Chains A and B, each alone.
Chain A
């Protein structure tokens, strides 16, 4: 490096890149902190009936930055044409499942013991009651499920699957 002009040029380029990275770093940290403090509502991205356990496993995505806690489950069973079972309602099953931020958690819903296995066409309308850490209010998410009918949208890019039973 012999000429002062080259020195000025190279130092200027490095200084601009450095200022750019510092600005990007602090902007990213501010945004990350802001996003991490926003609770989101859970999204049920899939439901699967397990015939042996007589239970439905829901895949619930928590897209927000804070933990959510499912505290209650209730569901309405509506028989389809093929079923001989009568319709019934189970309400206020106390559970305690935490949904970590930005991952998909599997939550199991046990159907009423002693009832028949689900037939194609049977519908289960599940209601999950959840809490978030910023207020004591209760929120609900309602998910209709019909065996043999694809209703749910396979969504969620890059969500990690975490197995968690109630």
Chain B
């Protein structure tokens, strides 16, 4: 198993374990959550959104690293990149590394939009509470805690996406100059 899957399963087991134990009425955990509901919501938002963000974080991180390696002129394994970009290996002869990188980026695009949509919904709900459009003393801090928890993986995804785009643009320019 690679690091991406190990981390995903680790977060998944921690989150699922916590939720199952509190549903079963595991006493001390349920008490902690009852005393500190917004901290629990923060953790659930963080772990839950990390599960969705994991693929994007590793995808964009690896994409940025690969594009940087290409810019530095290092030898790259085309087959591995094709696998990441979800492309059949038969086409490899016709395609250059940069076009494979662009395909890899396009392959991540739907996941990115689904992820940002989820974050936008959570953010909007907490905004509705924050602006008192929905007034509730009990649920407002919980919605806010959930939103703050989900913001952390979102900022990581956003930063890595910008980095990957930045190196990808540079590799495209380099490719154009080489021709």
**A residues 1-46 touching B (CB-CB < 8 Å):** 1-4, 7, 10-11, 14-15, 18, 21-22, 25-26, 29
1/0 per position for B151-175, CB-CB distance to A under 8 A? 1100100110011011101100000
Contacting residues, chain A, for B102 (C-beta < 8 A)? none
A-B pairs with beta carbons under 8 A, tally: 41
Q: Label chain A's interface by main secondary structure.
A: helix
In this complex, what residue of A is CB-closest to B151? Answer: A18
In this complex, what residue of A is CB-closest to B169? Answer: A2
Contact present for B155 and A14 (CB under 8 Å)? yes
Q: Which residues of A contact B (CB under 8 A)?
A: 1-4, 7, 10-11, 14-15, 18, 21-22, 25-26, 29
| Those 5 A-B pairs whose CB atoms lie nearest each other, nearest first | A11-B159, A7-B162, A22-B148, A7-B163, A4-B166
Contacting residues, chain B, for A11 (C-beta < 8 A)? 155, 158-159, 162
Contact present for A29 and B166 (CB under 8 Å)? no
- In the assembled complex, the Cα of A164 lies from the Cα of B38 at a distance in Å of 34
Contact present for A1 and B141 (CB under 8 Å)? no
1/0 per position for B97-110, CB-CB distance to A under 8 A? 00000000000000
Contact present for B162 and A3 (CB under 8 Å)? no
Contact present for B39 and A26 (CB under 8 Å)? yes
Q: How many residues of B contact A (CB 8 A)?
A: 19
- In the assembled complex, the Cα of A3 lies from the Cα of B39 at a distance in Å of 37
Contacting residues, chain A, for B162 (C-beta < 8 A)? 1, 7, 10-11
Contact present for B39 and A1 (CB under 8 Å)? no
In this complex, what residue of A is CB-closest to B167? Answer: A4
Q: Can you name 28 A-B residue pairings with CB atoms under 8 Å?
A: A1-B165, A2-B166, A2-B170, A3-B166, A4-B166, A7-B163, A7-B166, A10-B162, A11-B155, A11-B158, A11-B159, A11-B162, A14-B155, A14-B158, A14-B159, A15-B155, A18-B148, A18-B155, A21-B148, A22-B42, A22-B148, A25-B38, A25-B141, A25-B144, A25-B145, A26-B38, A26-B39, A29-B141
In this complex, what residue of A is CB-closest to B144? Answer: A25
Contacting residues, chain A, for B39 (C-beta < 8 A)? 26
